[in-house]
Amino acid sequence: MDTQQQVKVLAQLAQDKQVRVATAESCTGGWVAQEMTALAGSSNWFECGFVTYSNEAKTQMLGVPQELFVSDGAVSEAVVVAMAEGAVANSLAGLSVSISGVAGPGGGTPEKPVGTVWMAWALEGQPTETHCFQFAGDRHAVRSAAVTEALKGLIKQLNESTV
């Protein structure tokens, strides 16, 4: 299923369940939000997108505690949880996805090599879910794969919810 097919499924689920969706993106730079808003009528279910590339933006816009960047790093489970929960708390959305990763070609470390991408999905009333991915390929391939997985996770959240 390509991303536009995923967005159509997500749109139907979000509208059926009356849940608005937000994104909190770092390494994807708003690509997930762009895919969502490419669908006509997305204003019926898409709330907003936060593109928080810097740590300062993550703190200012989403409320990510500064100490998490020191203790865990920007590409970490703790940070994406705070981002996803911050996106819901700072919008009218009931569901969000957050993404932070090392898209490359530089920036990787032995602990977090290029292709490491953390994501979290926050749905009001449910525990926030997370996953760490290791994507292969160049910067474009890593970012593209992250968009696909972000949409897949949003669909999963709505399919499994009792909202």
C-alpha radius of gyration, the chain, whole number: 15
Q: How far is CA 102 from CA 48, 142, 146, 155, in A?
A: 24, 8, 11, 24
Digit-by-digit pLDDT tens for the chain (163 residues) are: 899 999 999 999 999 999 999 999 999 999 999 999 999 999 999 999 999 999 999 999 999 999 999 999 999 999 999 999 999 999 999 999 999 999 999 999 999 999 999 999 999 999 999 999 999 999 999 999 999 999 999 999 999 987 6
Walk me through the domains of the chain, giving residue ranges and CATH numbers: 3-160 (3.90.950.20)
At 32, which helix (H) or strand (E)?
Answer: helix 31-37
